[in-house]
């Protein structure tokens, strides 16, 4: 029988992490991390990892290292100056698709950045009128 010493619960959009410090019946302690993933079309999936206390320091060191590397390569995070530059270019007439290509991110992210700055999203293309195509022809008298 295991005894729960301490627990923590972390909730995110579609994932819940239950982290527990447990004591095994032999007296040894370990950490258990359970991730529950909720998806729209399927029932929740659960995954459990049990960590030996000896390995925790090395695992934490690697996780911190990975986190630092992710900060350097993250596409979705922009500085305030970059967000201002995106807004400036959009207001000059660049399309969302062009901005997404220039800043190596999705159009949705560009939309979110612009909406956060209270900029209305409209098409920058000129309207196309088809006067000759749909206009009635006058009868000759």
Measured between alpha carbons, how far is 29 from 2 in angstroms, rounded to an integer? 9
| Structure confidence at residue 10 (pLDDT) | 92
Is the pLDDT at 120 greater than 60, yes or no?
Answer: yes
Q: What Rg do the C-alpha atoms of the chain give, in angstroms?
A: 27
Of residues 68, 79, 32, the one with CA closest to residue 53? 32
Is the pLDDT at 127 greater than 80, yes or no?
Answer: no
Please give the model's pTM, rounded to 2 decimal places.
0.50
Longest dimension (CA), the chain: 107
- In this structure, are residues 22 and 4 in contact, taking their beta carbons and an 8 Å threshold? yes
- Write out pLDDT tens, residues 16-32: 999 999 999 999 999 99
């Amino acid at each position: 029988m295991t005894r729960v010493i301490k627990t923590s619960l972390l909730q995110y959009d579609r994932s819940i992490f239950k982290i527990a410090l447990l004591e095994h019946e032999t007296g040894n302690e370990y950490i258990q991390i359970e991730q529950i993933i909720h998806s729209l079309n399927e029932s929740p999936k659960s995954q459990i990892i049990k960590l030996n206390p000896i390995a925790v320091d090395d695992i934490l060191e690697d996780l911190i290292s990975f986190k630092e590397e992710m900060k350097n390569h993250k596409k979705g995070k922009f500085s305030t100056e970059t967000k201002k530059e995106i807004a400036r270019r959009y207001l000059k007439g660049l399309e969302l698709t062009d901005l997404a290509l220039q800043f190596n991110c999705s159009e949705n992210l560009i939309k979110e950045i612009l909406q956060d700055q209270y900029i209305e999203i409209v098409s920058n293309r000129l309207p196309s009128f088809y006067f000759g195509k749909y206009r009635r022809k006058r009868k000759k008298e």
